[in-house]
């Protein structure tokens, strides 16, 4: 197991509980005599000018491990930079669901102790890259840990598009759009749209139509190595949007060809020994507990 000597800290902005947790974490790491680097925005929240800081996009180059204090949105915000430098990340949950930030604030010292002692597992979560293809040339639009979404923006209007997996035509569709989600994103927006829950170990992508004008349109799961192509219909008058993890990246036009494929690098997500994906589903999604059986 890797020995972590320099720890990076990122905190969700504008949350009093995050600042309290960060201060506890700083005191704990200082007692371990570990080097700590905070991203500049997080340091401003704490208000201690003696702390070592750097811009967020440089954090992964200066650290062996990055700890994110916040919710899943906070993890999504740092995932792309951390994945590019292959620096492992662990999350302390100060959000709502916390599928990606699984350490409870009250267990901070116990769980970080375990990680520093080498008692942890590393889970690789792949990301998606999205491109605009024009006459064989591709322009990079963005990356997503959860999902790439074709949607109409603020107006609730139908989008006409064709879907291809590789060079194979799948269908043409009129709908509010399409969600292209990783296993990580299967418990996010795709789940709300009726998609399946996929285990993080799967090398697969789910394609979830949004309010399709058809009773037979259903989510489709394809190989994670597949190239997904969305071709906006020439007759389409709306300018639909392409979003990566909820961030708008491109306003598409009629005839545009949007390409989605797996990113070459993955996010290294660290979990403490007690972590279980199924337990996370039970607690976050309200699944029932095991039946109590009498021995009589």
Beta strands in the chain (DSSP E): 6-11, 35-39, 53-54, 65-70, 89-93, 121-134, 137-144, 147-151, 159-165, 168-175, 177-181, 204-210, 220-223, 228-232, 241-244, 247-251, 257-271
Q: How far apart are CA 161 and CA 177, in angstroms?
A: 8
Give the span between the Cα atoms of 7 and 36, in whole angstroms. Answer: 5
| Residues 231, 172 contacting (CB under 8 angstroms) | no
What is the token pair recorded at 278? 């199924």
Burial class (CB within 10 angstroms; exposed 0-12, middle 13-18, buried 19+) of 163: buried
- The tokens describing 131, both together, are 């491109």
Q: Can you state the angle between helices 108-116 and 16-31, rounded to 10 degrees? A: 40
CA 175 vs CA 172, 214, 242, 272: distances in Å = 10, 9, 15, 41
Whether 201 is a known active-site residue: answer no
Q: How far apart (Å, rounded) are the C-alpha atoms in residues 98 and 54?
A: 26
Q: Which of 39, 48, 64, 72 is catalytic?
A: 72
The per-residue DSSP string of 69-121 comes to: EE-HHHHHHHHHHHHHHT--EEEEE-SSS-SS--B-GGGHHHHHHHHHTT--E
User: Do the Cβ atoms of 265 and 128 come closer than 8 Å?
Assistant: no
Q: Give the residue numbers annotated as catalytic, written as ranges.
A: 72
């Amino acid at each position: 197991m890797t020995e972590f000597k320099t720890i990076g800290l990122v905190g969700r902005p504008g949350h009093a509980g995050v600042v309290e947790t960060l201060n506890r974490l700083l005191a704990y790491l200082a007692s371990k005599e570990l080097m700590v680097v905070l991203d500049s925005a997080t340091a401003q929240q704490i208000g201690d000018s003696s702390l070592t800081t750097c811009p967020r996009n440089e954090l992964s180059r200066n650290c062996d491990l990055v700890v994110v204090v916040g919710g899943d949105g906070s993890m999504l915000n740092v995932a792309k930079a951390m994945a590019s430098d292959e620096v492992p990340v662990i999350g302390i949950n100060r959000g709502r669901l916390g599928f990606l930030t699984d350490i409870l604030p009250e267990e901070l010292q116990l769980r970080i102790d375990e990680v520093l002692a080498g008692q942890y597992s590393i889970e690789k979560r792949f990301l998606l890259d999205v491109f605009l293809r024009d006459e064989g040339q591709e322009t990079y639009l963005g990356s997503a840990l959860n999902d790439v979404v074709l949607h109409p923006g603020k107006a609730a209007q139908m989008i006409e598009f064709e879907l291809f997996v590789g060079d194979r035509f799948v269908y043409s569709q009129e709908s509010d759009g399409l969600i292209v989600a990783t296993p990580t994103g299967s418990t996010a927006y795709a789940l709300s749209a009726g998609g399946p829950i996929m285990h993080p170990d799967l090398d697969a992508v789910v394609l979830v139509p949004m309010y399709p004008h058809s009773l037979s349109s259903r989510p489709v799961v394809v190989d994670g190595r597949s190239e997904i192509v969305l071709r906006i219909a020439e007759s389409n008058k709306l300018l639909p949007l392409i979003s990566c993890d909820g961030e708008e990246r491109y306003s598409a036009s009629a005839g545009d060809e949007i390409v989605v494929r797996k990113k070459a690098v993955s996010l290294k997500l660290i979990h403490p020994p007690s972590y279980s994906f199924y337990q996370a589903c039970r607690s976050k999604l309200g699944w029932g507990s095991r039946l109590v059986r009498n021995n009589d």
